[in-house]
Structure 1
Amino acid sequence: MCTGFLKVMMFIFNGAIFLCGIAGLAVGIWVVVDSDSLLGLFDFVENAPTEIFQVVVIGYVLIGVGALLLIVGFLGCCGAVKESRCMLLTFFSIVLIIFLVEVAGAILLFAFTDVVDEMFEELEGDVKDAIQRKYGEDNDMTTLWNTTMEEFKCCGYKNYTDFDGSPFNVLTRGYPSPCCSTPGIPCNESGAHMANVDGCFTKLVKFLEDNSFIIAGVALGIAAIEIAAMVVSMVLYCNAGRKSR
């Protein structure tokens, strides 16, 4: 009776682990795709610190862990049905490794978000310099900035004044269209000032902070299920060992 109940619990936990794997994959892909488009802006900054790109690493870790959880969910169910000590021990070992990776990833994420504001503030001068030298003249950079500003509804690094003195500003006497709230109307200084569109720095910091809470929430949920699944798998492992004697 007790073994049957534990098997049911293993099915429930492994079903939850399978769903968590899907969630981890989805969040990881989202982080990688969205952060790539924003962080690509720093490719044109000479002194951009490598720590900025840690958020992408975290995204790839989530993708890897999510894919592994899908496999583990299937393995745990098979181990419970067959009462295979080998499969149950393998399940326990893999889940334990995943749990430790998640703990390390959470520490990395929170350590990164603690310094993110300070780091991006320090980059402000370098990014503005790159914009004022290249925007409107370097096609790759101009296209990347335009795509990012349109997608995230932002303007410049901090605001529209970042474009002052850029080749685009000198040539058109205006600012990129995302810096103004009214599409189709020339974006001049007064229009950009009135629109007061947030800078991409503000959007990026908010993106990272929001993602950190989402990732932390997913990780905590997965961790709780993993701990419960490890306990149940060890009980089944011990019961299977007694039956084999």
Structure 2
Amino acid sequence: MCCSAFLKIMMFVFNGIIFLAGAAILGVGIWVTVDSSSILGILSHIKDAPPELAQLANVGYLLIAVGSILVIMGFLGCCGAVTENKCMLLTFFIIVLLIFIAEVAGAIVVLVFKPLVNDILVSLNQKFVQAIKNDYGRQDDFTAVLDNTMTQLKCCGYNNYTDFEGSPFEQSTKLYPEICCSKETSKCVLGEAEKKEVDGCFKALVKLIEENAGLLGGVALGIAALEIAAMVVSMVLYNNIGK
């Protein structure tokens, strides 16, 4: 009886965490989908972008789907443990198992196709720079999204200030975006941009990911451990019901 009560408490705790995590991911997914000025919004403005990267623009919908599944999982797990409903517990176990298998498969795919990443990034570099030269200063939505991204990451262009050479903005104003120069400069001209040497957004994004790689890895391992523990507890509780 004591063991059963302990398992119920553990199941409730595990699924409470899963439910809250799902709600948080769902909220982020809704925010990313609604916020057209986010960094992912740039991908929708790049013509002939690689299909793999073009799909990143839909990551908000993926987060909404994942968040919704986690919320449902948390609800099933909590209700199944409290009511001792074997159907709910079994459904919970199957969903967690499928998600765990999908995560492992995804990790394997990333490792196997890692050599292709450099080729995709080279292609993205060319298309991104071409999009800047064609549309920055001409299309208001693209210009606003890129300005917002550069401000958030404190970067200039995809590679550096040279990406803006020949763009409608540079042609009409003979200037570069303010972020490409120091704040003390009233006008960002070529000489000031060369002197400042602000990193491109690709380099800034890679640096941001590298700085948080340990945190991201820890979160991923924590989620995997939580899923395994939840599956074990749910099955033990499932087998103990009715005994």
Q: What TM-score, normalized by structure 2, do the two folds share?
A: 0.80
Asked whether the 8 Å contact 2:159–2:201 carries over to 1, the reply is: yes
Deviates more, 1:25-34 or 1:166-175: 25-34
Deviates more, 1:100-109 or 1:197-206: 100-109
Task: Look up the SS of the partner of 2:230 in the other structure.
Answer: helix
Q: What residue number does 1:4 align with?
A: 5
Asked whether the 8 Å contact 1:25–1:63 carries over to 2, the reply is: yes
Deviates more, 1:228-237 or 1:175-184: 175-184
Q: What residue number does 1:93 align with?
A: 94
Partner letter of residue 81 of structure 1?
Answer: V
CA 103–166 in structure 1, closer or farther in 2 if over 3 Å, else same: same
Partner letter of residue 180 of structure 1?
Answer: C
The alpha-carbon deviation at position 10 of structure 1 amounts to: 1.7
CA distance in 2, matches of 1:231, 1:123: 44
Q: State the number of aligned residues.
A: 242
Q: What TM-score, normalized by structure 1, do the two folds share?
A: 0.79
Partner letter of residue 131 of structure 1?
Answer: I
CA distance in 2, matches of 1:32, 1:216: 25
Partner letter of residue 19 of structure 1?
Answer: L
Q: What residue number does 2:65 align with?
A: 64
Partner letter of residue 130 of structure 1?
Answer: A
Q: What residue number does 2:138 align with?
A: 137
Deviates more, 1:85-94 or 1:26-35: 26-35
| RMSD of equivalent CA atoms | 3.3
**Structure 1: 5+ residue runs without aligned partners?**
none
Q: What residue number does 2:156 align with?
A: 155
Q: What residue number does 1:221 align with?
A: 222
CA 60–114 in structure 1, closer or farther in 2 if over 3 Å, else same: farther
Deviation track 1:215-242 (CA, whole Å, cap 9, x = no partner) reads 554333222112112112212221224x
CA distance in 2, matches of 1:34, 1:109: 28
Partner letter of residue 82 of structure 2?
Answer: V
Asked whether the 8 Å contact 1:20–1:66 carries over to 2, the reply is: yes
Asked whether the 8 Å contact 2:40–2:56 carries over to 1, the reply is: no
Q: What residue number does 1:38 align with?
A: 39
Relative contact order, higher structure (CA 8 A, sep 6+) = 1
For residues 169-208 of structure 1, the aligned pairs below 5 Å read 169-182=170-183, 185-206=186-207
Partner letter of residue 68 of structure 1?
Answer: I
The alpha-carbon deviation at position 100 of structure 1 amounts to: 2.6
Partner letter of residue 93 of structure 1?
Answer: I
CA 69–165 in structure 1, closer or farther in 2 if over 3 Å, else same: closer
Deviation track 1:72-126 (CA, whole Å, cap 9, x = no partner) reads 2232222222222222222222222232333344445666776444422333333
CA 176–81 in structure 1, closer or farther in 2 if over 3 Å, else same: closer
Identity value in percent? 55
CA distance in 2, matches of 1:229, 1:21: 15
